[in-house]
Chains A and B, each alone.
Chain A
Amino acid sequence: MLKLIRYEFRKNRTLLLVVLGVIAALEAYFLFRAHASARLNAINNLSEAANSAEVHLIVAMSLLVFASFGTALAVFIMGVAGYSRELNQKTSYLVFMTPQSTLSIVGAKLLFTLITGVGFAGLLAAFAALDFPMMLDSLGREWVGYYNMLDWFMTENDLNLTGALMTIAFFVCVVFLSIIATVSIAYLAITLSATFMRGRKGHALVSVLLFLLLSWGNSRLTSLFFNADSYLSLSDAAGLMRVLTPQLLLDAAILALSVLACAWMLKKRVDL
């Protein structure tokens, strides 16, 4: 499966480099604006030039925030479009003629999407950690440091360090699992469409409609297990996990079922 994942990265290298390039360009723009703002603030923080530089700095930060959402969308599209392309183009021969199980093929594509998503999320989080104090500094405000911020967060929510880290880690897991479960639902929709509408007009539209239908079904199912009226408080880490665990388990079950269903259909039903 590792070889398949490696080839997923190779196939998507251009798009990955484009996304990386956009993020790097926006980060460079932010750094340039932060430097300019800090320089002008040091000379005269009430000047028109300093105010203008601050506006540019906030715009640069906003662009980075938008880029984060754009990156998440790009990774989702990359993962889903790659799978759809594999089933509908002749390159599918290259993948499916190899002695690799269909489970490995689907799993490799999902893992590629997950690794790419985690990688970009890590990069953007690192930039945010670097940029946030720099922005406050450039705007002439005091940066108290991440330790103090965490300390404030824990005090406000009556958490200890372990509790805070567990809560954050748990949230990150829930979010990533939820995203990857959504990608697996998209795979299931594409595979179902390829199975029953092969070569027919409108099978792409059917894939989209199936995805929407399955996603709606998933949300209905989630609502049965997850009570939105439950009292959620960061100060009750154990309670929070108790409330979110069914969601986590449901996403894991949907992910497993979707992958197994895709692998089975690819093996038994889909014709290339």
Chain B
Amino acid sequence: MLEINHVTKRYGRKNAVDDLSLRLESGRLVALLGPNGSGKTTLMKMIAALASPTAGSITLDGVPVGLKTKAQVAYMPTEAYFFGYMSARDAGKYYRDFFSDFDMDKYLAALEREHLDPKGKIRTMSSGMVAKVKLALTFARGSRLVMLDEPLNGIDIVARERTLEAIQENRGEGRTMIVSSHLVDELETMIDDAVFIKDGALVAAGDAKALREKHGMSIVDMYMKIYGEGAALNA
């Protein structure tokens, strides 16, 4: 279980995340929603212990996020983050060397399924191919918490479908999955929970079905209302 308690992250005078509290149960697929610059990535980085909160605390199963939890958290950044020399196979070897939960066979099978050459240099791949490599690496780990930062960005419609399928295939089994996106319609039907963030602050969060019933509208419509019209949801 992931617990975020009154977390604030300040960059200069701006609060990227503003006194945010959240509790996510195990085994859920959570959509972290908000437009660009709303604080989604900053929040994910803090959960992945790649950034420190200015105030507040984050715990994973009661353990403050840090060195110990890094072994249990699979974070997929939105950017390509590989060393220049790396082929897809090299990236797999790197993960195998540093993450005990990494399954090389599963990773290579995923590459084959996506028609990706393990010997191919990642720096020469298209953004869609890099996205597939990142996804294959992340899902080849047996982590209890998986975070995908904007996995649907910069990829074509076919790759988008494949990404959504991969998310469906790898969910469950006590694994919590957080997917950040501003492309809500693609996620609407598959998510268990939705978390809306605006200017770093939590606007609404909870079970997606309950949210729909409570506000009488779809998650997409809620998104439009919060970020498009700038209106608050009814309490």
Contact residues of A with B, CB < 8 Å? 3, 7, 10-11, 13-14, 90-94, 96-101, 198-199, 267-269, 271-272
Contact = CB atoms under 8 A, between A and B. Distances in A.
Nearest to B69: A99
Instruction: List the 8 closest A-B pairs by CB distance, nearest first.
Output: A271-B51, A98-B98, A93-B81, A99-B71, A99-B70, A90-B81, A272-B50, A90-B79
Contacts of A272: 45, 50-51
Interface string B64-95: 00111011010101011111110000000010
B94 A94 contact: yes
A101 B102 CA distance: 19
Interface of B: 11, 45, 48, 50-52, 66-68, 70-71, 73, 75, 77, 79-85, 94, 97-99
Given A90-B77, A93-B50, A272-B51, A99 B82 contact: no
Contacts of A271: 11, 45, 50-52
A3 B48 CA distance: 21
B200 to A, nearest CB: 14
Contacts, number: 61
Residue from A10, A93, A96 having most chain B Cβ neighbours under 10 A: A93
Contacts of A99: 67-68, 70-71, 98-99
Contacts of B94: 7, 94
Q: Which of B11, B70, B75, B98 has the most CB of A within 10 A?
A: B98
Contact of A269 (B52, B71, B79, B83): B52
Given A99-B67, A272-B45, A93 B77 contact: yes
A175 to B, nearest CB: 31
Q: Tell me if B's interface is mostly helix, strand, loop or mixed.
A: loop
Given A101-B67, A272-B50, A14 B85 contact: yes
B90 to A, nearest CB: 8
B51 A97 contact: no
B54 to A, nearest CB: 10
Max chain B Cβ within 10 angstroms of own Cβ: one of A7, A10, A14, A99: A99
B50 A13 contact: no
A129 B80 CA distance: 47
28 contacts: A3-B98, A7-B94, A7-B97, A10-B83, A11-B84, A14-B85, A90-B77, A90-B79, A90-B80, A91-B81, A91-B83, A94-B82, A94-B94, A97-B48, A97-B70, A97-B73, A97-B75, A98-B70, A98-B98, A99-B67, A99-B70, A99-B71, A100-B98, A199-B11, A267-B66, A271-B11, A271-B45, A271-B50
Given A93-B75, A272-B51, 13 more contacts: A7-B94, A7-B97, A10-B85, A91-B81, A93-B77, A93-B81, A94-B81, A94-B83, A97-B48, A97-B75, A100-B67, A271-B51, A271-B52
A267 B65 CA distance: 11
Nearest to A98: B98
Nearest to B50: A272
Given A91-B81, A97-B75, A3 B97 contact: yes
A267 B49 CA distance: 9
A269 B10 CA distance: 12
A96 B65 CA distance: 13
A13 B90 CA distance: 14
A10 B82 CA distance: 13
Contacts of B81: 90-94
Nearest to B91: A94
A93 B79 CA distance: 10
B14 to A, nearest CB: 11
A11 B83 CA distance: 7
A88 to B, nearest CB: 13
Nearest to A268: B52
B83 to A, nearest CB: 5
A14 B73 CA distance: 32
A98 B99 contact: yes
A11 B85 contact: yes
Contacts of B80: 90
Contacts of B79: 90, 93
Nearest to A94: B81
A97 B82 CA distance: 12
Nearest to A102: B67
A142 to B, nearest CB: 50
A116 B79 CA distance: 31
A91 B70 contact: no
B82 A91 contact: yes
B85 A13 contact: yes
Contacts of A100: 67, 98
A16 to B, nearest CB: 12
